[in-house]
Amino acid sequence: MFLGQAGASLGLLWLGSMTPELLAQARAHAQSAQATGAKLYRFFTAHQAADFDALAAQIIPTDDTPGAREANVVHFTDFLLSGIDSDQQAQFTDALKALHDQAVKTVPGAKSFAALTSEQQIAAMKAMENTSAFGTLRGFVVTGCFCDPSLGGGNKDQVGWKLIGFKDDFYYAPPFGYYDAHYNEGKG
Amino acid sequence: MSTLPPQRNYKLSDKVDFVVVGCGAAGGVLARELSRNGFSVVVLEQGPWLTTKDFTHDEYMVWNHASLTNDFRKQPTTFRKTPKDKAVKQPALTYGRMVGGGPVHFTANFWRFHEIDFIEASKKGTIAGTGFTDWPITYADLEPYYTKAEWDLGVSGQAGASPFDPPRSKPYPLPPMPVKSSGVLFEEGARKLGYHPFPAPVAILSKPYQGRMACANCGFCMGFGCEMGAKSSPLPTMVPQAIATGRCEIRPHSYVRKIDLDANGRVTGAIYFDQSGKENMQRARAVVLAANGSETPRLLLMSKSNRFPDGLANSSGVVGKYLMFNTDCLTGGLFEHELNDYKGIEVTRVIHDFYEIDAKHGFYGGGGIDARFFFYPISFAQWGLPPKGPQWGKDYKKALQKYFLRSMYLAGHTTSLPVADNSISLDDTVKDAWGLPAMRVTYKDHPDDLKANQFMIDRSMEILEAAGAEDRWNYGVQESNYGFHLLGTCRMGNDPKTSVINPDHRTHDVPNLFLCDGSSFVTSGRGQPTETISALAFRAADRITGLAKRGQV
């Protein structure tokens, strides 16, 4: 039952209702931090932020188009984990520790995941890609890339939505796509 | 949050004619019908009263933070496969939790049951190990109320477009929604294989209707509230009409913990917590539970008394049993050109060629297949690509770019057999935020349900191929551990030993207690239960009104 699987997976991330007031406060905080250029993290240590940033940049790399870095994934995740997703801090910290441990396992003596070469990072990720820790980290990366940009500054400048071609224009008129535009030409 | 509309206010000490628990697909209808029929009505709804201004397209808040649904952190559930297993605390079901209920956030597929759904056991025979049996009412009994639901709520569709449709007394009030590219491709593939695709009937307005605006094709139906008010839930329809009678009060944030019973075996009202946590009791001459297929049995089980030590109206012992989720399955396909399927409503074409899967395949089951948009941007990146392909890295990024606009998904919706062990019960240890026993869900699909699911995956993959997909994938058959459709837990029947309510929706055990929602179902239908829940509510309102006016409640 695919819907159920998705629901249960989402369920692990569920927090419960966030009051509009708390959400507004959290958003105001995120905006003021951006406006003042503050780079301080509320949840991450510098080491954690660097490792998570490196991982995010491997999951959705920057090439001829923007990737997870340009989407502001690290600061957005910090916003979530210090606010509306604070009950997932332990789970996230454990997942980052698993990433660090895998980095050391892949390259003995490594100081951090971020300190590995790109090839070494990819090797470490392949070694743990089927773990729940990796799933936790990947979930936050894609959330930060593809969320509604009004939520805490993720998907900055809609770089994630532009990547896949999604727009949220609130109003569309048919035809919507190639096949319904050609519907009257005998297809279907 | 918006200000509530002015409405009649009753005192707790007022003995109103009816307390209705739950303001969703059934409760909203009952509120309007009973108040229009001259009765005083108080509706106790555990969720908030939102308006179109409160609805957003924020995928994370809606899907991950349960902004429109039951909240696992406050209302935990536990799950086990069989009664022998230890239940584990985990999310096990979702329901719409607000004034307007599930239809506020549903995808809006609005299918009637067919004639066979009510008489299937006598046509096909009983099935060992299940409670598979006929309904005590037929399609003909319910047909006028399906029509009423379609016209009073506002449903778009094309009568007669499916050769498998049951007879109907009136066409749909509104023409079908514009076909999307997924609908066109599905139609082409299905016709090549000899099937009969038809425009999806949906509770969404294709044109302005009764003072409401038409759909703007924004694409945010599944899981979201409609900021146009174009989705035909009770929220923009039944609720204001009930209020307008001057006889109905809707109280949001009212979480009912017990239905009170007097020494004569009659219910006297509902005891509930208000938003501040204060306990109140609303007195009433009769009570109607329409709290959904999980909360209605839970409330009965919590309402124990000397007369009913196993739960109110549970002399049969079947309250909470025969839970049915409807199985579902998903396949995907990539096409040459852009479909842009995120625009427009989710589903525009359906087939019912497998409504009854031929018995020669060796199992019981059936259902429908539709073509749809399924993954909003976050969930698309999580799960929308072929599972065997890259899930991170530069090739993943390329696939995200390539697949989003050019993919569609086929969803299969199928039967679930009623099995007594599949149930809602009270957890022994876990409590909710109000200190009440958490809901314990026990569920294991009948083997035939999983076979029907695999059958639908196989047919879907063939349709995608016939439609010319460059790439096709599926997500396999998964055993259910999570429910969206909550059916069958207080089943209707003529025998008080094997059912909870009679065909008038009156409990066999308590003369002034009625139940009407997904819990009333005897069999599961084919995966789109909401129109039947609404039709049952229109019919129940007629039956209850007749009884009350004859002094028989």
- Chain B from 188 to 227: CB within 8 A of any A CB: 188, 191, 216-219, 227
Is the CB of B325 inside 8 Å of chain A's CB atoms?
Answer: yes
Residue A179 lies in a domain: no
Query: Which chain A residue has the Cα nearest residue B483?
Result: A4
Chain A residues whose CB is inside 8 A of the B441 CB are none
Output A45-49 pairs: Cβ under 8 A, ≥24 positions apart. Answer: A47/A112, A48/A93, A48/A96, A49/A74, A49/A78
Domain count, chain A: 1
Q: What confidence score (pLDDT) does residue A16 get?
A: 35
Contact status of B2 with chain A (Cβ, < 8 Å): no
On whether residue A9 sits in a domain, the answer given is no
In this structure, what token pair is assigned to residue B530?
């909401």
Does any domain span residue A180? no
Q: How near does any CA of chain A get to the CA of B344, in Å?
A: 7
Residue A2's pLDDT is what?
A: 43
Q: What is the pLDDT of residue A34?
A: 53
- Report if residue A184 sits inside a domain: no
* Tens digit of each residue's pLDDT (9 = 90 or more) over B292-302: 999 999 999 99
Which of chain A's residues have a Cβ under 8 Å away from the Cβ of B391? 129, 138
The 3-class secondary structure across B341-400, one letter per residue, is CCCCCCEEEEECCCCCCCHHHCCCCCEEEEEECCCCHHHHHHHHCCCCCCCCCHHHHHHH
- B434 lies within 8 A of chain A by CB: no
* pLDDT given for residue B328 in this prediction: 94
Q: Which of B191, B217, B339 sits opposite A179 (nearest CB)?
A: B339
Cβ separation B72–A63 shorter than 8 A: no
Q: In this structure, is residue A186 part of a structural domain?
A: no
Assigned domain for A12 exists: no
Q: How far apart are alpha carbons A117 and A103 in whole angstroms? A: 11
- Tokens at B114, concatenated: 């067919």
What percent of chain B clears pLDDT 70, i.e. is strictly above it?
99
What does pLDDT average to in each consecutive run of 10 residues of chain A (188 residues)?
42 39 56 55 96 98 98 97 96 98 98 98 98 98 97 95 96 98 67
Selected residues 56-115 of chain B with any CB under 8 Å from a CB in chain A = 56-61, 63-67, 71-74, 90-91, 94
Bridge-based pairing of strands B279-289 and B513-515 is: parallel
pLDDT at A24: 60
Structural domain boundaries, residue A115? 18-166
Contact B482 A2 (CB under 8 A): no
**A174 domain-assigned:** no
Identify the segments of chain B with pLDDT beneath 70: 1-3
Q: What is the pLDDT of residues B448-468, one digit of tens each?
A: 999 999 999 999 999 999 999
Our measurement of the distance from residue A18's CA atom to the centroid of its chain's CA atoms, rounded to an integer in Å, reads 20
Cross-chain residue pair A129–B391, CB shorter than 8 Å: yes
**Residue A3 forms part of a structural domain:** no
Mark yes or no for CB contact B58/A2 under 8 Å: no
Which chain B residues touch A139 with a CB distance below 8 Å? 382
